[in-house]
């Protein structure tokens, strides 16, 4: 999110170098909170999360045209073969490794942070929400095939320019203060997202 192409394990203190307007806007938001703390004593924290997936309710699904899960699901629903962008990275299976967190786990972290702010307990200015390990694109494809019951071999395309091999976040501070942990397995993430995608496909007027 904050652009750290030369670092594969991101901590809260990792130097920030946004590579996109989106990442830059997130960092600017943190600067604004810092300035409000100085000016008005605002108590605040920022939760830094990376690839949010899954669904907390079958009626709500991810419609982003840029996120991996909906891209893969849309391909399967349309009868197309999902695509992997590059399989020659220096990772165990050659595909990118990233942190993926379930949206319900993210929601719990927000509640914990809000309660800590409300009670006046000591709180860090920022917390990473990540596993410290991550999963690969190939592992996600395998999980999708297993959950959906659709046997497919992903197409392999060229690398996307600027895509690092591995970026995951250390969530130690969030575990300490917010009780953060990954409560959902990869298969559970995929299953909840797929169920929501099928629900949307069966709902008249849904897009």
Whether residue 123 contacts residue 49, with contact meaning beta carbons closer than 8 Å, is answered with: no
Distance CA 183, CA 120 (A): 27
Rama region for 44: left / alpha / beta (φ>0; ψ in -120 to 50; rest): beta
Question: DSSP letters along 64-77, please?
Answer: -SSSHHHHHHHHHH
Residue 2 among the catalytic residues: no
Whether residue 53 contacts residue 131, with contact meaning beta carbons closer than 8 Å, is answered with: no
CB proximity list for 78: less than 8 A, separation 6 or greater:
none
Residues written for the chain: 207
Distance CA 136, CA 24 (A): 26
Catalytic residue, candidates 2, 22, 61, 127 = 22
What tokens appear for 128 in the block?
Answer: 């990473």
Active site residues: 22
């Amino acid at each position: 999110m904050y652009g750290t192409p030369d670092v594969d394990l991101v901590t809260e203190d990792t130097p920030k170098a946004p590579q996109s307007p989106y990442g830059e806007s997130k960092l600017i938001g943190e600067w604004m909170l810092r300035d409000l703390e100085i000016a008005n004593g605002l108590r605040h924290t920022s939760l830094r999360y990376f690839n949010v997936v899954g669904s907390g309710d079958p009626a709500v699904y991810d419609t982003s045209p840029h996120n991996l899960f909906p891209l893969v699901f849309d391909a399967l629903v349309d009868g197309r073969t999902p695509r992997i962008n590059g399989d020659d990275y220096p990772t165990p299976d050659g595909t990118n490794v990233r942190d993926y967190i379930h949206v319900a786990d993210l929601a719990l972290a927000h509640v914990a942070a809000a309660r800590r702010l409300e009670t006046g307990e000591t709180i860090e200015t920022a917390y990473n929400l990540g596993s410290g390990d991550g999963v690969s694109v190939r592992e996600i494809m395998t999980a999708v095939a297993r959950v959906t019951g659709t046997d497919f071999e992903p197409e392999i395309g060229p690398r996307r320019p600027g895509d690092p091999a591995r970026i995951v976040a250390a969530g130690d501070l969030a575990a300490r203060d917010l009780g953060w942990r990954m409560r959902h397995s990869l298969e559970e993430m995929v299953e909840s997202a797929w169920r929501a995608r099928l629900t949307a496909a069966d709902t008249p007027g849904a897009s």
